[in-house]
Amino acid sequence: MCPERTIPPAPADLFPALPADAAAHLDRYGLLVRDALRLKPKHARLLPIEIRDLSATLTDERDDFAPDYMTRPGPLAAYVHYFHPWNLYRLTRLLAALPLDLPDDALIADLGAGPLTVLTALWLARPDLRRRPLRFLCLDRAGKTLKLGLDIFRRLAPDCPWNIRIEAEHLFRLPHFLGREQARLITAANVLNELFGGPTGKRDAELDSLAGRLAAHLDPDGQMLVIEPGTRLAARRLIELRETLIENGMGVTAPCPHQDECPMPGSGNKAWCHFAFDVRGAPPWLLQLAEAARLPKERLSLSFLLARHGSLEALDNAARVVSESFALPGNLRGQYACTPRGLALLTFDAWPTPPGSLLRLSWPEQDQRDPKSGALMVQRPGERPLPPARTPAPRPPAPRPAQERNADRPVADGRPAPRRAPRTERAPATSGKPAGDSTSAPRARHGKPGTPDAPGKPSGRGKHGKPAPRRAGKKTGKKD
C-alpha cells in the first residue's frame, strides 16, 4: 500500500437516480441515433425483430455466439438503437456515483468501446467534466461501430473539447497505442463476458494475463473500471478478474468493502455479486422499443469493479447491500450485505435500503447466524435489536486455524503470502444475458440473495466469522 496516496472514499450509494439533465439528453438520443443510422423503412420495421434476435443470440447458448455481430448491419442497428442506450442508462447511473478523479489532460482508455458507450455515459453522468480537456483512446475490433458512436456523440455534444481517438483493433493492442504513456482510467464495459468466446474459452490464463497487462498500463494514481451485465456468467468472470487484480498488487475500491475472498462468487449454487435497480427516468421511446421487441423492462442489473494500484485495508464495520429485501420471521425484513466478515443478513422493520448502498454496522457481541443462509445476522443501523434466537443457529464447520490453512504458502515478512482462492468451475452456458438486456434479475428470497441460488456458507472464517487476513500480492508489472 502507498500510505501517502489519498484513496477516494467508497461511494455510499452506487445507483443514484438518473440526473434530470442526463434524462433529458437520453430523451432525444433516439432521434440522434436514427439520424446517424438512417435505416431504410423496411429495416426500421424489422428493428424489433433484429433486437429480439440479437438478444437471443447473446443470451443463454453462447456456443453459437458470433463475435463479429457488431460488424453486420442488422445486429449493429439493433445494438445501437437498443442495447447501447440501455447501457448508457445503467452506466450513467453508476458513473454518477463513482469517485473517478480525472484531471485536465487525463488519458482514458476504453477497451471494447463499441459505439463509445462509456465515453458517452461519462459525458451524461459528469457535467463537471464536459468542458475539461480529456483524452480518450477507444479500442474495438469493430471499426464501423466506433465511427458510428463517434458520429452520434458529436451530434449529442458538438462543442465537447474531448480529444477522441478511435482504433479498430483487438484490445490487447492497447500498449501499442499507449506507447510509454499510462492511462489515468482504463475501462471495459460489457466486454469481458465475450472476450474469450464463451464459457469454453481458456479464460483463467487469459484473465491472469489481462489483469497483469491492465495493471502495467495504469498510471500510479489511475483507476480501472470493469463493468459487466448482472448475469452469473459475467459476474463470475469479473470475480475471477478481481482475484487476479488483487494478486497483481491492486486494490478493489468498489463495490467490495474488503479485499478478501468474495462471499458471492457465483460458483456452484452460490449467489453471484450483482446489483439490480429500477428503470425510473428511462426514456419513453426506449421503453416502447423494449415493448415492441417483446423484451419489457422493469429492472436492470449489472456487476462491476473499480480498482487501483496498492492494497487497501478493509473497514471492519463497512457493509455493501447486495440484495433486495425479503420477509423474515417475527415481522422483520432482511437484506444481504457483503462485509469483511463475509455475507451478512441485515435485519430491519421499516423501509429497505437501496441495493448498492454502503452502511456502517455495529457488530453484535455474539455472532448469530441465519440458519438458512449461514450469513451473520446483524441489525441495520438504527433498528430494534434482534430477537433472541429460539433454537441455536447451526454453525458452519469450524475453520482450520489461519496458520494451518496457509501452511503451504511461501512466507514473507513473517506473514503468509497471498492465498489464491480455489478457481471456480466453469459457468453453465445458460446464463449470459446480453448487455442492456438483463431484465429479470430475480427478486431476493430468504436464503437466496438476489438470485435463485442459496449463498454458500462463508468459508475459512476465524473469530466472529472474520476471515483470516489476506495480503495483496506484489505487483508483477507484467508487460506484453
Ligand X SMILES: C[S@@+](CC[C@H](N)C(=O)[O-])C[C@H]1O[C@@H](n2cnc3c(N)ncnc32)[C@H](O)[C@@H]1O
Among 55, 92, 120, 190, binds ligand X (CB under 6 A): 190
Q: Which is nearer to ligand X, 189 or 276 (CB)?
A: 189
Choose among 92, 91, 95, 308: nearest CA to 184.
308
Q: Which is nearer to ligand X, 223 or 347 (CB)?
A: 223
C-beta of residue 224 within 8 angstroms of C-beta of residue 306: yes
Position 55 contacts ligand X (CB under 6 A): no
203: left (phi over 0), alpha (psi -120 to 50) or beta: alpha
DSSP-assigned states of every residue in 339-359: ETTEEEEEEESSPPPPTT-EE
User: Minimum distance between the CB of residue 361 and ligand X, rounded to whole angstroms?
Assistant: 34
Q: Which is nearer to ligand X, 276 or 321 (CB)?
A: 276
Query: What is the spatial distance between Cα 84 and Cα 67, in angstroms, rounded to a whole number?
Result: 17
User: Minimum distance between the CB of residue 114 and ligand X, rounded to whole angstroms?
Assistant: 3
330: left (phi over 0), alpha (psi -120 to 50) or beta: left
C-beta of residue 111 within 8 angstroms of C-beta of residue 174: yes
Q: Which is nearer to ligand X, 58 or 276 (CB)?
A: 58
User: Minimum distance between the CB of residue 194 and ligand X, rounded to whole angstroms?
Assistant: 5
C-beta of residue 288 within 8 angstroms of C-beta of residue 25: no
Among 10, 26, 33, 70, binds ligand X (CB under 6 A): 70
C-beta of residue 357 within 8 angstroms of C-beta of residue 9: no
Q: What distances in angstroms separate CA 28 from CA 21, 23, 24, 152, 320, one per listed residue?
A: 11, 9, 7, 11, 35
Residues 95-114 that bind ligand X (CB under 6 A): 112-114
Cβ-proximal residue to ligand X, closest one: 114
Name the one range near ligand X by CB under 6 A: 185-193, 203-211, 241-249, 415-423: 185-193
Total binding residues toward ligand X, as defined by CB under 6 A? 21
Q: Which is nearer to ligand X, 142 or 185 (CB)?
A: 142
Q: Which long-range contacts (CB under 8 A, 24 or more apart) does 38-45 make?
A: 39/77, 43/73, 43/74, 43/77
Position 319 contacts ligand X (CB under 6 A): no
Position 293 contacts ligand X (CB under 6 A): no
C-beta of residue 363 within 8 angstroms of C-beta of residue 341: yes
Q: What distances in angstroms separate CA 276 from CA 19, 73, 252, 304, 319, one per listed residue?
A: 18, 31, 20, 12, 17
C-beta of residue 260 within 8 angstroms of C-beta of residue 314: yes
Among 50, 140, 261, 324, binds ligand X (CB under 6 A): 140
Pairing of strands 250-254, 299-309: antiparallel
Among 109, 138, 171, 305, binds ligand X (CB under 6 A): 171
Beta bridge pairs of residue 252:
307
Q: Which is nearer to ligand X, 18 or 70 (CB)?
A: 70
Position 142 contacts ligand X (CB under 6 A): yes
C-beta of residue 396 within 8 angstroms of C-beta of residue 371: no
Q: Which is nearer to ligand X, 100 or 318 (CB)?
A: 100
User: Minimum distance between the CB of residue 440 and ligand X, rounded to whole angstroms?
Assistant: 18
Position 421 contacts ligand X (CB under 6 A): no
Grid coordinates representing 424 are: 471456480
Pairing of strands 332-339, 318-321: antiparallel
Position 120 contacts ligand X (CB under 6 A): no
Show the site string, 261-280: x = touches ligand X by CB under 6 A, - = not: --------------------
Among 55, 145, 323, 424, binds ligand X (CB under 6 A): 145
Among 435, 441, 468, 472, binds ligand X (CB under 6 A): 435
Among 25, 62, 81, 84, binds ligand X (CB under 6 A): 84
User: Minimum distance between the CB of residue 143 and ligand X, rounded to whole angstroms?
Assistant: 9
User: Minimum distance between the CB of residue 469 and ligand X, rounded to whole angstroms?
Assistant: 36
Query: What is the spatial distance between Cα 347 and Cα 8, in angstroms, rounded to a whole number?
Result: 29
Q: Which is nearer to ligand X, 77 or 314 (CB)?
A: 77
Name the one range near ligand X by CB under 6 A: 189-197, 308-316, 351-359, 445-453: 189-197
User: Count of CB atoms within 10 A of residue 372's CB?
Assistant: 17
User: Minimum distance between the CB of residue 256 and ligand X, rounded to whole angstroms?
Assistant: 22
Q: Which residues bind ligand X (CB under 6 A)?
A: 70, 84, 87, 112-114, 117-118, 139-142, 145, 170-171, 189-191, 194-195, 435
